[in-house]
Amino acid sequence: MKITRIDFEGFGALTNRTIDFDADKLNLVVEANEFGKSTMVEATWAILYGLPEKDTYKPWKEDATYCASMDLEIGDKKLRIIRDFESESVQVLDLNFGLRDVTPQYLGNENEDQVGFKLLGMNRDTFRNTCLVGQRHLEINHMTDSTAVAAEIQGIADSSSPDTKVSAGLQTISHTLSRFMHGNRLCHINELLRELEGQRSDLMKRMRSMDAERGQCREWFSEIQAIDEKLNLKSESKVPESVEEEPAQVPTVAESAEAEALREELKRIEAAIQKLRNQEQKKQALLEAASIHTDDGPISQEQMDFLMRLWDKQETIVNDINMLHEYIEPHQAEIAARESEVMDRYTDYKGLDQFTNSEAQTISTYAVNLFNLVKQMEDMKAKNPEFATLVNNGAGTGEYEAAKAKLNHFEGLTPEEVEEAKSYASLLVAFKEQASETARKLNETKSKSSELNNDRNKARIFNIARVAGLLVVSVLMLASPSILSAVKVALPQPVVAGSLILGLLTMLISFFFLGRVLNTTYFKQDEHDSLGQDVQKLEIAMAKGDEKVSNLENKIGALATKCGILDKKQFVTKLQQQAQAPSQKETDEEQLRQLFLTKQQNCKRLQSDLAYFFNKAGLATVEIEPQSAIALSESINDFRKDIAELQERRSSMYDHDERMRQMEEDLSLTEANIIEFLDQNGLACEGSFEVAKNQVQSLIDFFENRNSPHPDLAEIDEGYGDESARHNTQQELIERHIAASTKLEAHLAHQNTASQADVPKARVTPTVELMSSKEVEELRNKKEDLTVKIRTTLKSRDELYLDTLEELNRVDHEIVISKRAKLALELAYEMLKQSSHETYADWSVQLNKISTELLQQLSGEIEMLEFSKDLHLKVKLRNHQNIFESKDIITKLSTGTKEQIHWMARLIISRFLSSLEPLPIFLDEPFSEADDARFMGIMSFLIDSILPNNQVVIFSCHQQRHQWLKQQLDAAHQDKLTFKH
């Protein structure tokens, strides 16, 4: 897609502006600050996608129409998009067909605006992420971290919204789990659940204890009832007085017979009722006899229910434990296998786990430095083979090693004499120089003197001439009147006088100059004298110098002779050679040598430092090579990564382990409760759950048996049917009893005999043995004790039980919602992670396809650019054998290459997201921080590598810089630039 024109009727600061773009050139929009360049960039996506907030770019000029349009070419289509931001409407016109309105083609099913999406295959945020490059986006800092690049690409793969990254999302979820808000505090959710479970456990214990006490109270009350019955029966053993025997009035025969019949019937009914009751009692007795014999009697149904609740809980926990085991075991085996694999991989090393992260980085830094140093030293050795033998023994710098190797050419002379000779030679040189200087000065002085003499002579001659001339003039002046008068030329007297006076004056002057002539010292005599003195001095100095030179030469000659060199000059030359200061070349060579030695020293230091780490890793510490240091560093990093992965897997299992532990605790507690319960009820388990199991099974069997009809019970029921039949019979009997009683009453009332006599009630009272007073007293005391116990226990329960239950309900609810929150967060985490892995893997495949296609079309530095499964970059450059991984890209490649790689990656992603349609790229002041070299490099790259496929538009305020750029480029490249206004 290429944008050819944008018209701004009114958009932010821009009003009635048009800008045309070239499709095949690098468009440079260079305008001053505050022109609205950034606004233009924003307008590109705003026209394509509309504005989420309508008034964001409302025109500054009040009467401007809030509207903009864009002409573009996409495939073989030429379209114009006109967007009215005020009315939030859009129109798409086909320029190939006379501005035909094709807007419906770019709307969705519900006529929603999908212009941008349908044209480009991506939504607004993705377009902004990939095609718009904001200010400072491409700072070098962006490329200092290998993970930052991968993170940027992952971010685009994660979401079309900017700043939406799965890694940050996962971190947020982890953070939420580890700092879970509960009440007013934050804590890890596992810690919270443990606390709540602990609270629950305590509360349950309290409840159980209080329930047990309540059960005890029930038993005590039963005892009290039994005591009451005993005490009441004693008092009831007296003859009941309820039935009064009234003297019967004599009834009539018929009336007596009827009354008698009614009484008989009542008796029969009462007997039948009693029989039924007897049957019932017998049944109860049989039931009681069928129950399990315990020391304290059979357990009640209620106790059995309680026991069954514990038993069910125990079974549930066992099932849960088994289920968890089944899950955990293969994972643990996997983790163990992985651990073993990791350990095996690093058998060459010992103690890799002892290395900290910073140590690993230090080793890496040292290794790289060592590598660089060794490489540099190899290069230096290649250029200077003699360096191969250089050894820095730490003797200090500035020493001429070469000088030490020089042979001593002065045999026969002691070192002192050689030094002496050197001194003489130096002095000789000095004196000779001095002498030549003196001679020069002498010559100079003499020359000056001679010049001076010449000047003096000239001055004299001039003066002589002057005198002569003046004399002549004076004579003439003096003689002229006479002469003229002789020739009878009359002159005025003044003239004559004047002539005479002038003549005299002239004569006087001439005499003055004559004096000068005669005075030989008047002209520069001092200077003459001074020069004369200088000459003398210099001559003396010369003489002395010659003398010194001569002496030195003699001495040197003597020494030369001593060491067998007849030629003094040769001797001196040799001495001079020895004492001569090094030349510039030698200085440079020495510096190079020193540099080499310094590098060598640094090398040794690094090796010494690395030796510590090598020793720690169980490696040999002699001859530490850079490769082995790099290998160690990489091994540590890989090891740490492997260990971190293992840790992560272990910690994911930790929760399960923790849960397992808790369940096992619960199981022990439940089993202990079961054993305790059975022990308390006389079913001794000897502390063994196996025994308890058997006891419980027996109880289960018993209760199952008990609930089925007992054969004897069946016999009892025979004749009366089942319980409901017996019940019906009883009801009938009761009704008949009531009817008969009523009738008898009415009859007796009518007869007016014993009208208010009560119907004698059937009373079946078991015979009771009479008790002694002592026994009665004991029973009463026991009852009182039991009453006190009951009251104390229940009062205490009154205060605590309801609150405890309320608290338990509250804690249960907290546990439920916390567990639910934890489950939900963990599920979200796993699903996000899984989704991101799958997405990155998919993207990797697609991006690599596009990368291969694109790079085949280009001839730049990059030969291969690959995206790994987690979207890290791998690069191969044309002039390099190696493949550079992410971290290598950062550390080993130049800034310019890194930027190119970044650009290519961006381009590939843009191509992928736009469904393979090349999209324009808009850059807003992207290189403000770049220096000239980098700026040049990246612009050349854009022209060579990006422009062939994608339209590029750069907005900038740096006019001069871009003009400079144009000048730097060759003609072909210059042609690719176009400045837009």
317-346 binders of other proteins (CB under 8 A): 320, 323-324, 327
| Minimum CB distance to other proteins, residue 244 (Å) | 24
Stretch of 5-13, 20-28, 88-96, 170-178 lying at the interface with other proteins (CB under 8 A): 170-178
- The candidate with the shortest Cα–Cα distance to 828, out of 156, 189, 150, 171, is 171
Q: How far is CA 9 from the centre of its chain?
A: 45
921-950 binders of other proteins (CB under 8 A): none
| Minimum CB distance to other proteins, residue 67 (Å) | 25
Q: Tokens 């039948």 — which residue?
A: 272
Stretch of 277-285, 344-352, 670-678, 803-811 lying at the interface with other proteins (CB under 8 A): 803-811
Under 8 Å CB-to-CB from 916, ≥6 apart: which residues?
A: 850
Query: Please, which residue, 172 or 694, has the CB nearer to other proteins?
Result: 172
538-597 binders of other proteins (CB under 8 A): none
Give CA–CA dist 309/303, Å, rounded: 10
Query: Please, which residue, 700 or 825, has the CB nearer to other proteins?
Result: 825
Q: Does 741 bind other proteins (CB under 8 A)?
A: no
Q: How far is CA 60 from the centre of its chain?
A: 42
Q: How far is CA 803 from the centre of its chain?
A: 48
Q: Does 809 bind other proteins (CB under 8 A)?
A: yes
Give me 3's structure tokens: 């944008």
Q: Does 826 bind other proteins (CB under 8 A)?
A: yes
Query: Please, which residue, 643 or 669, has the CB nearer to other proteins?
Result: 669
631-650 binders of other proteins (CB under 8 A): none
486-545 binders of other proteins (CB under 8 A): none
| Minimum CB distance to other proteins, residue 832 (Å) | 5
Q: Does 222 bind other proteins (CB under 8 A)?
A: yes
- The candidate with the shortest Cα–Cα distance to 737, out of 401, 306, 276, is 276
Q: At what angle do helices 895-913 and 124-131 cross, to 10 degrees?
A: 160
Strand, helix or coil for residue 540: helix
> What one-letter code names the amino acid at 713?
L
Under 8 Å CB-to-CB from 679, ≥6 apart: which residues?
A: 685
| Minimum CB distance to other proteins, residue 731 (Å) | 6
| Minimum CB distance to other proteins, residue 173 (Å) | 5
Q: How far is CA 28 from the centre of its chain?
A: 37
Stretch of 30-38, 59-67, 216-224, 925-933 lying at the interface with other proteins (CB under 8 A): 216-224
Strand, helix or coil for residue 757: coil
Query: Please, which residue, 456 or 737, has the CB nearer to other proteins?
Result: 737
Query: Any bridge partners for residue 186, and if so which?
Result: 181
Using alpha carbons, list the distances in angstroms from residue 215 to 218, 306, 691, 842: 5, 11, 25, 66
223-282 binders of other proteins (CB under 8 A): 224-225, 228
156: number of Cβ within 10 Å? 22
Name which position in 825, 864, 890, 957 contacts other proteins (CB under 8 A).
Answer: 825
Handedness of CA 635, 641, 645, 650 (dihedral sign): positive
Query: Please, which residue, 121 or 760, has the CB nearer to other proteins?
Result: 121
692-731 binders of other proteins (CB under 8 A): 724, 727-728, 731
Q: Give me the half-sphere count of Cα atoms (radius 13 Å) on the Cβ side of residue 334.
A: 10
Rounded to a whole number, what is the largest CA-CA distance in the chain?
Answer: 243
Binding mask 780-799 for other proteins (x = CB under 8 A): ------xx--xx--xx--x-
> What one-letter code names the amino acid at 73?
E
Phi, psi of 956 (to 5 degrees): -155, 160
CB 178, CB 191: distance < 8 Å = no
Name which position in 15, 103, 159, 868 contacts other proteins (CB under 8 A).
Answer: 159
Q: How far is CA 732 from the centre of its chain?
A: 88
Name which position in 295, 686, 803, 970 contacts other proteins (CB under 8 A).
Answer: 803
Phi, psi of 102 (to 5 degrees): -115, 25
| Minimum CB distance to other proteins, residue 776 (Å) | 19
Q: Does 315 bind other proteins (CB under 8 A)?
A: no
Name which position in 256, 278, 301, 697 contacts other proteins (CB under 8 A).
Answer: 301
Name which position in 248, 644, 827, 841 contacts other proteins (CB under 8 A).
Answer: 827
Query: Please, which residue, 345 or 837, has the CB nearer to other proteins?
Result: 837
CB 80, CB 92: distance < 8 Å = yes
Strand, helix or coil for residue 386: helix
> What one-letter code names the amino acid at 913?
L
* DSSP state, residue 107: B
> Which H helix or E strand runs over 921?
strand 921-924
98-137 binders of other proteins (CB under 8 A): 122-123, 126
Q: How far is CA 703 from the centre of its chain?
A: 65
For β-strands 977-980 and 26-30, DSSP reports them as: parallel
Name which position in 100, 118, 810, 981 contacts other proteins (CB under 8 A).
Answer: 810
Query: Please, which residue, 305 or 334, has the CB nearer to other proteins?
Result: 305
Under 8 Å CB-to-CB from 103, ≥6 apart: which residues?
A: 90, 91, 92
Q: Does 191 bind other proteins (CB under 8 A)?
A: no
| Minimum CB distance to other proteins, residue 958 (Å) | 35
Q: Does 758 bind other proteins (CB under 8 A)?
A: no
- # residues near other proteins by CB under 8 A: 82
Q: Tokens 């293969």 — which residue?
A: 330
Query: Please, which residue, 836 or 956, has the CB nearer to other proteins?
Result: 836
- The candidate with the shortest Cα–Cα distance to 379, out of 602, 596, 587, is 596
| Minimum CB distance to other proteins, residue 810 (Å) | 5
Stretch of 72-80, 242-250, 316-324, 621-629 lying at the interface with other proteins (CB under 8 A): 316-324
348-407 binders of other proteins (CB under 8 A): none
Query: Please, which residue, 261 or 663, has the CB nearer to other proteins?
Result: 663
Query: Residue 389 class from Cβ within 10 Å (0-12 exposed, 13-18 middle, 19+ buried)?
Result: exposed
Name which position in 838, 853, 932, 975 contacts other proteins (CB under 8 A).
Answer: 838
Query: Please, which residue, 599 or 726, has the CB nearer to other proteins?
Result: 726
Handedness of CA 68, 72, 77, 78 (dihedral sign): positive
Stretch of 83-91, 520-528, 817-825, 848-856 lying at the interface with other proteins (CB under 8 A): 817-825
Name which position in 661, 750, 761, 820 contacts other proteins (CB under 8 A).
Answer: 820
Name which position in 250, 540, 746, 824 contacts other proteins (CB under 8 A).
Answer: 824
Query: Please, which residue, 300 or 637, has the CB nearer to other proteins?
Result: 300
644-683 binders of other proteins (CB under 8 A): 655-656, 659
| Minimum CB distance to other proteins, residue 187 (Å) | 14
Binding mask 897-916 for other proteins (x = CB under 8 A): ----------------x---
Stretch of 559-567, 612-620, 709-717, 816-824 lying at the interface with other proteins (CB under 8 A): 816-824
β strands within 828-920, DSSP E: 862-867, 873-877, 883-884
